Chains A and B, each alone.
Chain A
Amino acid sequence: MKAPKMTYARADSVAQALALLAEHGDGANVLAGGQSLMPTLNMRLSKPDLLIDINRLEDLAGISVEDDAVRIGALTRHAAVQRSPIVAEHLPLIAEAMPHVAHVAVRNRGTFGGSIALADPAAELPACILALGATITVESVRGRRDIAAADFFKGLFETERQPDELLIEIRIPCQRPGTVHAFMELSRRQGDFAIAGVACAAETDGETVTDAKLVYFASEDRPTLAANAVAAIAGKVWSDESRSAAMAALSEDLDPMDNLQGSAAFKLHLQRVLTGRVLDQAIERARAA
């Protein structure tokens, strides 16, 4: 398990990284935290001609609040996000998801932007930013553009980012008063990839769910919004009946992929269980607020 031969370039500026990407496009891989890329290279599942190391691009790291949104630089390490008071205050959903992102050693090195750019269907952060309606900024020599999270995730490890584009930052709206969050996942061991999971951002007064974003991961080929489950409960007083309705409607939203952990039916069952629990928790939190 040693990586194949490739050229390594350490970018000293965003401009240089973009120039290299423009030149090599698909033939290049961007190396950030390397927590997914390095094993992939070592197992020779990925054989780029060029590896562009962006770890020295400090401009891409950092967390700040601007215009009611939290800006997280693509190169911000998971550990920094987990420790951030800004994230704790304004993005409690992300703060709650962070401990589920692998293990401490991986979080020390792995980056927020890397997780978004990779778009692993079992990853927590793509689901969270989709639930929170984030905007992703990418840049190439052709210019900068913003992509809504809802348009960003296209399929299995597939995103709207073009081969010559570099992920620059993610802007996530601060949680507004009157909304609550909840996050749950099931995994074989603490820190493993989820076998089922959901990120929830809900508008509720503790009795009625006005609106909600329920985003499921470890299920479809990409993080998936459950519109039907939400429609089944929107505007209704939260009750055992509405919980059952949301769980039942989920089969219209999800068609899980089977894997080593279990069949599609097993996964749908788990997502249903989580649906009831995550909404219960959201209601409880709204009542406590």
Chain B
Amino acid sequence: MANSEDKGFGVGAALPRKEDKRLLRGKGMYVADVDIPGTLDVAFLRSAHAHGRLGGIEIPEGMEDRVYTAADLTRVNPVRVEPSVPGFKPADHHPLATDKVRFAGECIAACLGANRAEAEDLADALIADIEELPALHDPVAAREDPPALLHEEWGDNVYVQLDISGGDIDSVRDAPIVVTRDYRMNRQSIAPLEPRAVLAHWDARAEELVVYLSTQIPHLMRTGLSQMLNLPSHQLRIIAPDVGGGFGGKARLMPEEIVVCAIALDTGKPVRWLEDRREHLMAAPQAREHIYRVTAYADSDGIIQGIDAELTVNAGAYALWHSGPFMETGMAARNLTGPYHIENMRCRTWTVATNKPPLGVYRGVARPGACFAIERTIDAVARAVGRDPLDVRMANMVPAEQMPYEAVGGMKFDNGDYPESVRRAAEMVGYDDIRAQQGGTAVDGRVWGVGLSSYTEQTAHGAAEWTRRGSPIIPGYESATARINPDGTLVLLVGIHSHGQGMETTLAQVAHEELSIHPDAITVKFGDTAISPFGFGTFASRSMVMSGGAVSNACIVLREKLAAIAAHHLQCTTEQVRFADGEAQSDGGSIPIAELARIAHLRQDGLPDGVDPTLDATATYEPDESTGVFSYATHAAVVAVDPHSGAVELVDYAVVEDCGNVVNPMIVDGQIVGGVAQGIGTALYEESVYDTNGQPLSTTFADYLLPGATEIPDIKIGHMVTPATFTRFGLKGMGEGGAIAPPAAIGNALSDAFAAIGAEFNETPYTPRRVLDALERAPKA
């Protein structure tokens, strides 16, 4: 590493975000800001019915040229996802419906207009002949007793049934304490500030289709679009400019994107589609909808010996490219034993198709559900044995001295002190004071409760983990090009994307760590397949570890070359050269990197023998072990509940987390707060409600409630630091964690508030109606 003793700009510095200069001034550029003259807008005719046979589509006379239906997309391949998972049933997903519609909001036709209003006028004038079929909305009913089949050739409505187990669950059936609970985490939207967006046009000079796309994964999107459009990759350029939030919602290839590209190829004109909020809430990828039945076997101290569970996940109508929905279920099952020392587990899982929009991946992926199920169960076991949930939680945890530890679901926990995070989180919200206060009378007529929730977050997993999952694509590495310009400034070209994560700042910090170049002299470029090497993109809490490692590796190559040139001029060995303050230094003198760069590019005569000109290196990085590094945290929530109205106020919230060494503590804190806010949404507000006909009922922000500034308390954050042992700089990913624990922490706090009457809160979101229902159903109500 370069010699940067002070943390002014390198790894560990709370450097203000480089990207904020433009973003906070409104100078960001999103797909909707791309202004190409003559661009046509697309509006989609979408199915008004959840399930039906599609007959003809009536198009007003003279408008045929402005309407595309499935029959017009002859050169487009349907999406067909086939993961290496035994028993997974694939199905063709046509970007425009052919013979059937399978959810309300599915695309049937694309209408072109000089602007969006005109395109909508045309879409309004189309008539689709749909013969309605019974709609499947509940996944358990859809698998157990289906009134109809979504994909008839399957014979049922199950994408895949999998049993995941470890140890021997039958060996613990005689345990003295047996606790069985049903949990339901309802379906929600992903709702980034910027909805989906795509603009495609054929560039005749470059002979390529240029696709401006709001995506987290530009390179993978090129791979996917290339397959669907039958267009070779050298004729496809994906540009993902500023992206207004992704959270997983922009990490899958969607039908609208394929259709817009196909129309641009067909017409030769610039064509765009900008998703509106209503479309987003009814047709974008959705998340969650996990239904659990969990039985815990424990001894009389509440030490859990085994978990037997059933999990049904509602994956919606179609499998999205590239992975399909199977990972949601498998990840939830494998994480079901949480950070606990539980040796026996069996989880039967069903990934079910229904007449709802396809399941995508959303911050936390699967783990908010698994965490909810196990953490509520821990508290239920504690109540059953008459101990405080804090004590039972800590007693069941994998202790620091047992690390590394392979959990029964196959997760290889690397290191950390899990119980300590519980102790500290409880301390931050004054756990004991609340317990004392609960004995007295609440001053404001409300009932107070405190709840804890712990989790581990597998991050930066490489080939071993993705292969194990059966993923069709193995995103086990990242790549980076580091290029020093003739003036000594540095450009980093990376395959990840940044849409809130602050990667323009943190990757510059990594490069500074290696080369000592000032961050102001470093530019991080991404989001354009024409300029960066292939990379997978930003998802799965991987970018800091993976792309940071790749940047580090590329910079080390440059550093070695710079050292060779510097040694030549400083009359010393390369080993005697060190880098600080933008200079190569030796005991005898120094030479600025800018001068070395000038020599490397413009004055070949100054290069030592055997050193090639230019300073340009591409490198990849995969952690030394590819099973992932595990961040972990405990969240503590304090609620005050009005037992008459069901109103819940979150009065305090604390997070104690450990993500190893930290590149930028300010950005890490921002990621935690943002994640917790989304988790609070899952816990208390957000729900994509469907009626029994599969009609969406929450299609505007008046009905789909996101938490706002008034709903989020100040989040207290405490850090623990256990450096990872097999990643560069000892980092662990941490982007998703904040969203994992809140539904469980708040559910536990609510259950704690009403422990005296035995009320339990096992379905999210905890709306006033559900709170009052839970109180009414309480055994000792």
Residues of chain A touching chain B, judged by Cβ–Cβ distance below 8 Å, are: 1-5, 39, 43-44, 186, 188-193, 195-196, 260-263, 266, 269-270, 273
Bound CA span A195–B769, Å: 10
B644 neighbours in A (Cβ, 8 Å): 273
Bound CA span A190–B115, Å: 36
On whether the beta carbons of B697 and A190 are closer than 8 Å, the reply is no
Name A5's closest neighbour in chain B (CB-CB). Answer: B121
Bound CA span A44–B708, Å: 27
Bound CA span A186–B645, Å: 8
Bound CA span A263–B116, Å: 38
On whether the beta carbons of B121 and A260 are closer than 8 Å, the reply is no
Name B647's closest neighbour in chain A (CB-CB). Answer: A186
Name A191's closest neighbour in chain B (CB-CB). Answer: B710
Residue-wise, chain B 702-714 has the 8 Å CB interface mask toward A (1 for contact) of 1101011011000
Residue-wise, chain B 273-308 has the 8 Å CB interface mask toward A (1 for contact) of 000111000000000000000000000000000000
On whether the beta carbons of A188 and B767 are closer than 8 Å, the reply is yes
On whether the beta carbons of B120 and A192 are closer than 8 Å, the reply is no
On whether the beta carbons of B768 and A186 are closer than 8 Å, the reply is yes
On whether the beta carbons of B277 and A266 are closer than 8 Å, the reply is no
On whether the beta carbons of A261 and B121 are closer than 8 Å, the reply is no
Indicate which residue in A5, A189, A193 contacts B710 across the interface (CB closer than 8 Å): A189
Interface residues of B in 616-638 (CB under 8 A from A): none
Indicate which residue in B117, B124, B769 contacts A261 across the interface (CB closer than 8 Å): B769
Interface residues of B in 320-345 (CB under 8 A from A): none
What are some 8 contacts across the A-B interface (CB < 8 A)? A5-B117, A39-B700, A44-B120, A190-B711, A193-B702, A260-B689, A266-B772, A273-B644
- A-B contacts besides A2-B116, A195-B768, A262-B769, 13 pairs, CB < 8 Å: A2-B117, A4-B117, A5-B121, A39-B700, A44-B124, A189-B708, A260-B689, A261-B769, A266-B769, A266-B772, A269-B772, A270-B645, A273-B644
Name A261's closest neighbour in chain B (CB-CB). Answer: B769
Interface residues of B in 741-781 (CB under 8 A from A): 767-769, 772
Bound CA span A186–B769, Å: 12
On whether the beta carbons of A189 and B768 are closer than 8 Å, the reply is no
B579 contacts A by Cβ under 8 Å: no
B698 contacts A by Cβ under 8 Å: yes
Bound CA span A270–B276, Å: 35
Name A195's closest neighbour in chain B (CB-CB). Answer: B768
Name A103's closest neighbour in chain B (CB-CB). Answer: B708
Name B115's closest neighbour in chain A (CB-CB). Answer: A2
Task: Take A1-B277, A2-B116 as given contacts and tell me if A189 and B711 are in contact as well, using a CB distance cutoff of 8 Å.
Answer: yes
Task: Take A2-B117, A273-B645 as given contacts and tell me if A189 and B702 are in contact as well, using a CB distance cutoff of 8 Å.
Answer: no
Bound CA span A70–B772, Å: 41
CB distance from A264 to the nearest CB of B (A): 12
Bound CA span A4–B711, Å: 36
Q: Which of B697, B703, B705, B768 has the most CB of A within 10 A?
A: B768
Bound CA span A273–B647, Å: 12
Residues of chain B touching chain A, judged by Cβ–Cβ distance below 8 Å, are: 115-117, 120-121, 124, 276-278, 644-645, 647, 685, 689, 697-698, 700, 702-703, 705, 707-708, 710-711, 767-769, 772
Name B770's closest neighbour in chain A (CB-CB). Answer: A262
CB distance from A73 to the nearest CB of B (A): 28
Bound CA span A266–B124, Å: 38
B772 neighbours in A (Cβ, 8 Å): 266, 269
On whether the beta carbons of B768 and A261 are closer than 8 Å, the reply is yes
Name A43's closest neighbour in chain B (CB-CB). Answer: B278
B703 neighbours in A (Cβ, 8 Å): 260
Bound CA span A1–B703, Å: 17
Bound CA span A57–B116, Å: 32
A186 neighbours in B (Cβ, 8 Å): 645, 647, 768
On whether the beta carbons of A188 and B768 are closer than 8 Å, the reply is yes
Bound CA span A199–B117, Å: 41
Bound CA span A44–B43, Å: 14
A43 neighbours in B (Cβ, 8 Å): 278, 700
Indicate which residue in A1, A44, A260, A263 contacts B697 across the interface (CB closer than 8 Å): A260
CB distance from A223 to the nearest CB of B (A): 19
Name B120's closest neighbour in chain A (CB-CB). Answer: A2
CB distance from B695 to the nearest CB of A (A): 12
On whether the beta carbons of A188 and B117 are closer than 8 Å, the reply is no
Q: Which are the 5 A-B pairs with shortest beta-carbon distances?
A: A2-B117, A262-B769, A190-B710, A1-B276, A273-B644
Q: Which of B121, B645, B702, B711 has the most CB of A within 10 A?
A: B645
Bound CA span A190–B709, Å: 10
B124 neighbours in A (Cβ, 8 Å): 4, 44
A263 neighbours in B (Cβ, 8 Å): 769
Name B644's closest neighbour in chain A (CB-CB). Answer: A273
On whether the beta carbons of B705 and A192 are closer than 8 Å, the reply is yes
On whether the beta carbons of B767 and A261 are closer than 8 Å, the reply is yes
Name B445's closest neighbour in chain A (CB-CB). Answer: A277
Name A277's closest neighbour in chain B (CB-CB). Answer: B644
A191 neighbours in B (Cβ, 8 Å): 710
On whether the beta carbons of A188 and B685 are closer than 8 Å, the reply is yes
On whether the beta carbons of A189 and B705 are closer than 8 Å, the reply is yes
B711 neighbours in A (Cβ, 8 Å): 189-190
Bound CA span A263–B768, Å: 12
On whether the beta carbons of A3 and B117 are closer than 8 Å, the reply is yes
Q: Which of A44, A188, A263 has the most CB of B within 10 A?
A: A188
CB distance from A260 to the nearest CB of B (A): 6
Indicate which residue in A1, A188, A190, A261 contacts B278 across the interface (CB closer than 8 Å): A1
Q: Which of A44, A192, A262 has the most CB of B within 10 A?
A: A262
CB distance from B531 to the nearest CB of A (A): 35
Name A192's closest neighbour in chain B (CB-CB). Answer: B705
B115 neighbours in A (Cβ, 8 Å): 2
CB distance from A183 to the nearest CB of B (A): 15
B117 neighbours in A (Cβ, 8 Å): 2-5
Bound CA span A150–B457, Å: 59
B697 neighbours in A (Cβ, 8 Å): 260
Bound CA span A53–B336, Å: 58
Bound CA span A263–B767, Å: 13
CB distance from A52 to the nearest CB of B (A): 20
Bound CA span A196–B769, Å: 12
Name B117's closest neighbour in chain A (CB-CB). Answer: A2
A5 neighbours in B (Cβ, 8 Å): 117, 121
Bound CA span A39–B769, Å: 28
Bound CA span A193–B644, Å: 19
CB distance from B126 to the nearest CB of A (A): 14
A195 neighbours in B (Cβ, 8 Å): 768
A192 neighbours in B (Cβ, 8 Å): 702, 705
Bound CA span A39–B700, Å: 10
B700 neighbours in A (Cβ, 8 Å): 39, 43
Task: Take A2-B116, A189-B685, A273-B644 as given contacts and tell me if A262 and B702 are in contact as well, using a CB distance cutoff of 8 Å.
Answer: no
Bound CA span A40–B655, Å: 42
A4 neighbours in B (Cβ, 8 Å): 117, 120-121, 124
Name A186's closest neighbour in chain B (CB-CB). Answer: B645
CB distance from A178 to the nearest CB of B (A): 29
On whether the beta carbons of A188 and B705 are closer than 8 Å, the reply is yes
Bound CA span A141–B763, Å: 57
Q: Which of A2, A3, A191, A195 has the most CB of B within 10 A?
A: A2
Bound CA span A186–B648, Å: 11
CB distance from A287 to the nearest CB of B (A): 19
Bound CA span A64–B689, Å: 46
CB distance from A186 to the nearest CB of B (A): 5
Bound CA span A116–B31, Å: 40
CB distance from B445 to the nearest CB of A (A): 10
A190 neighbours in B (Cβ, 8 Å): 708, 710-711
B645 neighbours in A (Cβ, 8 Å): 186, 196, 270, 273
Bound CA span A193–B705, Å: 11
Name A47's closest neighbour in chain B (CB-CB). Answer: B124
B705 neighbours in A (Cβ, 8 Å): 188-189, 192
B768 neighbours in A (Cβ, 8 Å): 186, 188, 195, 261-262, 270
Name A190's closest neighbour in chain B (CB-CB). Answer: B710
Bound CA span A1–B46, Å: 13
Bound CA span A3–B703, Å: 21
Indicate which residue in B276, B698, B707 contacts A260 across the interface (CB closer than 8 Å): B698
